[in-house]
Amino acid sequence: MGGTRIFRPNFEKLETGATAKTVVIAGGAGFIGSNLSHRLIAEGNRVICIDNMETGRHENIAGLLTHPNFAFFLHDILDPFRIKGPVDRIYNMACPGSPPKYQRDPIHTFKTSVFGGLNLLEVAEEKGARILQSSTSEVYGDPDISPQTETYRGLVNTVGPRSCYDEGKRGVETLFHEMHERRGVDTRIARIFNTYGPRMDPEDGRVVSNFVMQALMGKDLTVYGNGGQTRSFCYIDDLLNGLTALMEGDDPLGTIFAPVNLGNPGEFTILELAETVLLMTGSQSDLVYRDLPIDDPHQRCPDISRAKSILDWEPKIPLKDGLIPTIAYFKGEISGRQTFAARSVA
Ligand code: UDP
């Protein structure tokens, strides 16, 4: 273990507007983090992207690496670090979100949320920066009420295959709450429901990426269980609008410091998703049924009343509309691979 790393982003030659901010994005090369990186750079901000590339992808940030407002540091937030210069905002998007990925090294997953979150909170405290934690609908476990409101305490197994993720996120929510209450850190907590869109990892193992890739490649779609379980799918652009609204929102009554659900209340069974993907891709693939993973939630649907009232936010993009650019993106990933394979053979 080395000592504390010091990052020195080189932003001297910048010409940005007065409202431009310096924003740290931990996990800035992952699916949500990289889309956020692109959005914030396009809006004229400086972005300091920190990623250990465990599930982050080089392709997601390749187009930003030469941008003068973008600085990338290969680093695991579990190890302490400091940043030279001012920081206005910190988004903690660092933690694998896909069950097969976060279950690969459960102890590391748990530590990433809790100890990594604490390291970021300490940077926020030192810098006087506002910090947002990406939490998850998984804090509700396998819920016995639907839709899930923020006041619902959840039904979570502490010792199952999903616990490293669920309990890690619950733990980091507690840390955010206490760092706000006791040390005055300006915190936000977003409980993010299933999100999809461009820059998802095609090999992620999640249902949208699996189904679309399988359909496009003429493979059977793998339905776990009987496909009657539900999820509510939010398109990435809608989620980014919610995240930035939560980060930039103020609330004189202080309720903005409590967790906020961000998701699309449109609820679908997994079979409905499979049928929609087959229809929209024009694929002739069949469905095959596989065992339902242990503790797989039977239903999931956000109650977004709180986000509507305090952020004036709600998603605008229905599943079928969001699947159009998503399918186009996965097609591009497949043809990129084919081009690469053809070049490798030549
Ligand atoms: N799922 C499925 N086939 C797949 C991948 C996932 O039927 O190839 C199911 C999974 O069992 C779950 C739902 O789809 O019920 C969503 O799974 P995902 O891994 O995308 O996210 P999470 O379970 O974390 O919501």
Reported as a single tens digit per residue, the pLDDT across 156-182 is 999 999 999 999 999 999 999 999 999
Does 188 fall in a domain? yes
Q: What is the CA(155)–ligand 1 centre distance, in A?
A: 18
For residue 144, being part of any structural domain is answered with: yes
Is residue 210 in a domain? no
Q: Whose CA is nearest to atom 1 of ligand 1?
A: 207
Kindly indicate the confidence band of residue 1, based on its pLDDT and cuts at 50, 70 and 90: low
Please identify, by atom number, the ligand 1 atom nearest to the C-alpha of residue 229: 15
Is 235 among the catalytic positions? no
Cβ 264 vs Cβ 208: under 8 Å? no
Q: Which residues pair with 262 in a beta bridge?
A: 192
Overall domain count for the chain: 1
With CA atoms as reference, report the closest residue to 232 among 187, 276, 186, 263. 263
What distance in Å separates the CA atoms of residue 196 and residue 210, rounded to the nearest whole number? 12
Asked whether residue 280 is domain-assigned, the answer is: no
In a domain, 213, yes or no: no
Sign of the torsion formed by the C-alpha atoms of 30, 271, 265 and 190: negative
Beta bridge partners of 155: 141
Beta bridge partners of 135: 191
Q: CA separation (Å) from 304 to 133, 136, 255?
A: 18, 14, 15
* C-alpha separations of 52 from 37, 81, 200 in Å: 16, 13, 17
The answer as to whether 129 is a domain residue is yes
Of how many residues is the chain composed?
346
| Domain CATH number, residue 81 | 3.40.50.720
User: 192, 206, 301: which to mutate for ligand 1, most atoms within 8 A of CB?
Assistant: 206
pTM of the model: 0.96
CA distance linking residue 197 with residue 233, whole number of Å: 10
Domain range for 257 is: 20-200+234-265+297-317
Q: Of the residues 224, 268, 290, which should be mutated to test ligand 1's pocket, given the most ligand atoms within 8 Å of the CB?
A: 224
Interval 265-284: pLDDT, tens: 999 999 999 999 999 999 99
Q: Output the ligand 1 site: residues, CB below 6 A.
A: 98-99, 194, 206-207, 210, 222-224, 229, 231, 270, 292-293, 296
Q: Which atom of ligand 1 is nearest to the CA of 162?
A: 24
pLDDT given for residue 31 in this prediction: 98
Atom nearest to 205 CA in ligand 1: 5
For the record, the structure tokens of 271 come out as: 């079979």
Helix (H, G, I), strand (E, B) or coil at 244: helix
Which of 270, 292, 295, 298 has the most ligand 1 atoms within 8 A of CB, as the residue to mutate? 270
242-262 pLDDT, tens digit per residue, is 999 999 999 878 899 999 999
The CA R_g of the chain, rounded to the nearest whole Å, is 20
